[in-house]
Structure 1
Amino acid sequence: MTEGPRFRELWTHRYHKFPHIIGKYWSFASKYIRLRLIKMRLGKRPLVAIILSEQMGDIIACEPVAREVRRLHPDAYIIWVVREPFVDLVRYNPNLDGYILEKCPGERVQLLRSGIYDKVYNMHISHRKCKYCPEDPINPTADQIGLTFDNYLDRGDLLYVFSQAAGLPALTDAPKMYIPEVIRQTVKALNLPSQAIVIHCQSSHVLKDWPAANWNKLAQWLLDTYPYPIIEVGQTPTVNTSNPRFLNMCGQFSLLETAEVIRGAHLFIGIDSGPAHMANAMNTDGIILLGQLFDFVDYLPYSGRYKKGEGVTILNDFGHPCADLPYIWVQEATNRRLGQPKFV
């Protein structure tokens, strides 16, 4: 009974695998030619690559790496290697001269082997492979300091750890986001309510999430207790209410539009995910819900203000997943942040 599904699964994988590998080599060749042409125009200027291609929060947290690399190489042509869904996080960074879209880790290995870059700052930990490609991405610098997926969150915040993986000093700067004026005007034209509470309820990893019932309870309490409107951001809505002061904007904003909405918020409340890193980078006060993630119990992924405890309340019932975080803890933290209730 299981041979049929297994057979289909095997051939479905192969159906995707071989076109992917062919596309990888084509993509590698085209990027190599493009980079070679750039190097011909650069003359003696070095071509420097910063590599951290995925995970929204990781890229936002590690923005200070671009500033540090620019400081070290003021005359270099600096690019950031990034996956397409996250390109806007680096597109407008004034410390960069450009970016390269990465197809997969296998392509990254091919470009590194080619020697096309004069200097590389690779923040990836070794052995996160593409599911189709045979190449095993290795970062000797990360390996040398014993950095693995089993211990990296025990070593410090994301910037502190990944900057060392790249061969840089352990950086501690606050991250920044660069929002072009056209994005600011686009968000302004939406006429969203000012002084809103922005919430983000679901991450890309279920272990980071807080129960939907708790989010709905919290949203209703906020709407009943305070005058602030609520805007939910993210991809998938969690809160279900017909209250006119609640706006479900899930799936309607780009990454930078989401960051701009968070920038104008009175308060951000969310789980540990990309928008939480946006709140940190945009200097927005926040309440962040953490919990045990795999074997990581006492960890904090943020640098800057949130690392210092400025403008943020971090909630973590150590040894328990975020789903077990008591509702009353979140309500009381929100109450402390917002002050005396305005409604009775």
Structure 2
Amino acid sequence: MASWPRFRALWIYRFHKYTHRLGKVWSFLRKYLYLRLLKARLGNRRIVAIILSEQMGDIIACEPVAREVRRQHPHEYIIWVVREPYLELVRYHPDLDGFLIEKCPSERDWLLKAGVYDVVYNMHISHRKCRYCGGDPVNPTADKLGLTFDNYYDQGDLLYVFSQAAGLPALTDDPKMYIPDSVRSQVASLHLPPRPIVIHCQSSHVLRDWPAEHWNQLVSWLLANYPHSIVEVGLQPVVNLEHPRFRSLCGQLNLLETAAVIEQARLFIGIDSGPAHMANAGHIDGVILLGQLFNFVRYLPYSGRYKRGDGVTIVNNIGHPCAELPYAWVQRAVEQRLGQPKLV
């Protein structure tokens, strides 16, 4: 007989599974009706869907797709299909007419098969499934190019690869972020020091991370040798120092507020993550810590400025995960960006 914890976990999973599936049906019906009514209201204008619903860094990197689609469809109604946690990344884009919040990949597949979009640019690689719905969403364009989750990083940066998966030319533009004045005003109310060093220490995947003790050592060295203030951003704090020139904003900012903090930085130091893409889009000088990710040894996810090597130092111990980057390498890269230490 199954133990109580296993029995409980099973029924919690089943509860989420069935409520999710019921919610998906209702969500699909509402969106189907909304899009049909929208088509009727638009008359001769077509609905053009750009589909890249997650992750943060992917969406930021692929922002130029919106500009390219607007160039190709100057008079059509263009929407971006996105998961709710990432909505702010596309909400204010001047080349978009709207957005559609996606519940899950299975719902996306239903809407595609229902034919409610007139033109589709789907950047997702095939076989990314919903954990509750089953199904197997496919992207024939990506399949024709031979793109899979096992090889896509070997083909180029995120924008270069995903734009082709959508059936567009291989794009190489610099990404941009669109931050409304209301967000900048909110960040101004935090009274941050001018031009701080901004750090981001923890990603959504442990294979991208650098050890916490190294981060604490690096921040201690910076505070002892440079006059600049340091601000940590992200979900969970990693640096545990108390110092008048160090401030943690972890867990206190939404996505655009994080971007607005980063765009004020004199230097961004971070691992491969959404905030690193924000720094790239904001033309902020950076020190980016990379390492082997699964079978990807020499991958570089950034297009534009960081891909060209402008204003960025990529620190990578080729063939080793980020966690094995020697501390001295990172300190040296930061010193090269900031100049010789100035004792404070």
Q: Same fold (TM over 0.5)?
A: yes
Segments of structure 2 that go 5 or more residues without pairing to the other structure are none
Aligned to 1:70: 70
Does the residue aligned with 1:70 lie in a helix, a strand or coil? helix
Q: How does 1:13-92 map to 2 (within 5 A)?
A: 13-92=13-92
Distance 1:152 1:164 in 2: 11
Aligned to 1:158: 158
Aligned to 2:260: 260
State yes or no: 1:121 paired with 2:116. no
Distance 1:107 1:329 in 2: 46
Aligned to 1:331: 331
Distance 1:92 1:195 in 2: 25
Does the residue aligned with 2:232 lie in a helix, a strand or coil? strand
Calculate the TM-score normalised by the size of structure 2. 0.98
Distance 2:263 2:141 in 1: 36
Deviations 1:255-283 (A, max 9, x none): 11110110010000000000000000000
Deviation of the 1:233 alpha carbon: 0.1
Amino acid at match of 1:236: Q
Amino acid at match of 1:84: E
Deviations 1:149-185 (A, max 9, x none): 0000000000000000000010000000001111111
Aligned to 1:223: 223
Aligned to 1:273: 273
Does the residue aligned with 1:16 lie in a helix, a strand or coil? helix
Aligned to 1:314: 314
RMSD: 1.0
Deviation of the 1:5 alpha carbon: 4.1
Distance 1:65 1:256 in 2: 19
Amino acid at match of 2:183: I
Deviation of the 1:134 alpha carbon: 2.4
Aligned to 1:180: 180
Does the residue aligned with 1:80 lie in a helix, a strand or coil? strand
Segments of structure 1 that go 5 or more residues without pairing to the other structure are none
Aligned to 2:302: 302
Deviations 1:30-61 (A, max 9, x none): 01111111111110111000000011000000
Aligned to 1:11: 11
Distance 2:270 2:79 in 1: 31
Distance 2:332 2:234 in 1: 24
Deviation of the 1:237 alpha carbon: 0.2
Distance 2:37 2:93 in 1: 23
Count of residue pairs brought into register by the alignment: 344
Does the residue aligned with 2:124 lie in a helix, a strand or coil? coil
Aligned to 2:168: 168
Deviation of the 1:3 alpha carbon: 5.0
Deviation of the 1:186 alpha carbon: 1.4
Deviation of the 1:190 alpha carbon: 1.6
Deviations 1:205-246 (A, max 9, x none): 000000000000000000000000000000000001111100
State, as a whole percentage, how many aligned pairs show the same letter.
70
Deviations 1:69-123 (A, max 9, x none): 0001001100000000000000000000000000001110110010000000000
